[in-house]
Structure 1
Amino acid sequence: MSFNQFRLSSEILKGLKDTKIDHPTPLQKKIFKAVQEKKDLVINSTAEEKPEIGYLLSLLNDLSRSQRKQGTRAIILTSDPERVTALDEWIWAIGYHSDTGSAKFTEEGSLKQQLNELSAGPVIIVATPGRLAELLENGKMIFREVQQMIVDRAELIDNWKQVEVISNRILGTCQRIFIAAKDSKVLRDAEKLLLKEPELVTTRKKDAVPEPETKQDTSPVLKEITQYYINVPPRAKITTLMNHLENHSSDSVVIFTASRKTADRLYKVLRKADKRAVSVHKGLEEKIFDERFERFTSGDVQNLIAGELSAGELPLEFASQVVNYDIPEEVEEYRLRADLIGSGKAARIVSLVSRQDQKDMSTISSSLGHAPEEIPLPKAVKKKITPVESEKKSPKEPKAKSAGKQKTGGKPRNKSSRKSSKPANSDTKLRQLPRPTFDQLEGGRSGKKEKKGIFGFIKGFFGGNREE
């Protein structure tokens, strides 16, 4: 997923390109969305995960579209002088094309010179809490336009009174954000003192951040969950999905698709089959998104279709089953989907693997060190497979040819039959599966529709609707 969906200005996009940041991680996307709600936040993240891409992009984007480049709008506090420098340089690089910068303040600089710089009203302040608190006390300054106060690496702050001094000099509405790699009693006391009903932002089940041995934390979760895949014949994803859901009619199911268009179309398919479902994607207004999501979490509907969304963006506690209608291209996204359904219950992941998905599924299996177990096609789908021999002997074929207005209508079918003169094996049978009739929707990432017009009419007349 690219940054285009964040609706960033061209200047900010150029800055991201300059710094070779191609796309946000699931955590950064979740942070970006949470920051836009203007609530106080506690973000569970390490510095290596670059949470600033999530919490600062929204502010930098607003500043890039503003004509006014003076007046402090954000304060970033961190106890590590090297981290101060790193954040200051990152802001300069991202905001370069929009002429948006920051000023840094640490104990290493001249107090008098820094006081003059602070009086000039830098748009973004990056500082150690001790030095900024000292400057504010000496200059008797207050802030009236600060929109964000961010405490980076909050677990390393050793003097929260300095942070409190700075916070008290911010007048008006201000969003306060703590970023911490791990929890502690001291940190929780600071949250109670400075934050108002903060929300936790994380892609992990636990507050504690894993040590560098990340694989040791994620692999057991994956192994505890039963993982399956279904080898889907060409043009049969819809049929396979519907029959799979029918065989597990009591489950609550989250269905992931690669596009919002496919999500909406799948919703129509399920509703046509009298199955209770809702679809969600980034294109929805926040109110509508929340209403639909609440219908699923409350049990009002059994199926949630998520289009072009990461599992990390769904605050879901449990689902009986996750179905990958489209296989994720990134291994990390597969891990997030596995983590989504939790453990300790009869939960499972089922991936619908078509030919175009096989490469992605192979990459995921190689990364995880084990492959999901294959389960057979639903019986109802198998019954729709037409052997080549039966097509040759079909008494309806000559009749269908005589009814057509164009002589070329029957040629491709006869030619195809001659090519299939070899003994029919299971793979040949799968290739003969008719198209599903659900809204003329094919499986896979494209979601293309069947061609219409005179060709579509002739094709439908000669057996295109055999599933009916």
Structure 2
Amino acid sequence: MSNAFKRFNFDDKMLEAIEKIKFTHPTLIQERVIPKILKGENVVAQSETGSGKSHAFLLPLIYKVDVEKNHPQAVILAPTRELAKQLHKMTLDVLESYPEIRAAAFIGGTDVNKDEQKANRSPHIVIGTPSRVKGLMQSGALDLHLADKVVIDEADLMIDLGFLEPIDEIARALSDDVRLLVFSATIPEALRIFLKKYIGEVETIIIDTPKNKPSIHYNLVPVRGEEKQKKVLDIVQHITPYIGLIFANSRERADELFDHLNSAGVNVGLFHGGLKPRERTKEIKKIRALHYEWVVASDLAARGLDIDGASHVINYDIPKEIEFFTHRVGRVGRGEYEGNAITLYTPDEEHLINLIENKGYTFSHEDFKRGEFVEIKSRTQRASRKKKESSLESKLAHRVKRPGKVKPGYKKKMKNEMDTLKQNERKKYSMKNKKKR
């Protein structure tokens, strides 16, 4: 099964490990990144959710560990606790074939004393959030000065969450020949400055994946603003997902929608940054144990929570930053699974739909009626029809005469005359087309 990975000159042990995690062929980012890490090069890669980037750095990092050296050799930094835990689990899955390699996770919201004890055992691979790793390093519990590889995962989110300062301190404490492996969905200016400081000019590997994945059906559903909650409730009451995620743009919006669905008897969970660390951990366990059918979430879940086999995503709100749309819909249609990405939009969100379509996405224009999605005319066709209606009305306006004396009901009478004229014009147009055919 893992023969396709032989091109990287992995030994039989690594090939067996890859076979155990059921990988058959490397993804595009793995093709580009794995050889560079094995050669000991710096890497900057821009790729989106679901591209396989985690194993693009995990496999070569594990392969290059020297078990004779009893100190941390690779540091993997993640912006959220959930992502750090997820990366730790992925690492442990591969390490089932490498019991002699030690890996440990260090994240905020956990017992510092226990983390210090884990650090004293000198794990070969350190995985954690920047603030906790920095704290353990400064206290002397975690000695990182000999680590020669540092991964900065989801680097743009790191910057958004204000983690550039602790990352900077960690990087300055490492040896001069350390290799930086940076992965990001976008490369903002602050990240460019950081990269220039530590690694100078380096080629950015850009994995420009097709926007519409064949494994995902992209529904676009028009609604009036005040009807969004009603439409979502209708959808979730008629669809039974493996597990579905509903994204809102803020904690407040997520709370409101959760309350609405929960009060209607929907089996729904809630996940966002406003939850306390213990609550978040508890909710993640429930989500992964399929305790809920649906989970209302903020964009924290789009970047920091990986749910294997999620089948449906509903964009209750359209994100203001289009990159988050990609992260959201990337939760479904992964690996061997298929998925649905349902986007609700109101008239005042048309410009955001334009931005998404300009990025390369295409939608199926549908509405949800009587328990199923039904195809409707595209929004551009509907807009074109309105323009034609307006043009026809202007053309016929002179033929509807306003009465000399204004009497009660004159507006209704004029409207009826206009409707009759418009209907006659359509009939004429239809007859002409029939004759042409």
TM-score (norm: length of structure 2): 0.45
TM-score (norm: length of structure 1): 0.42
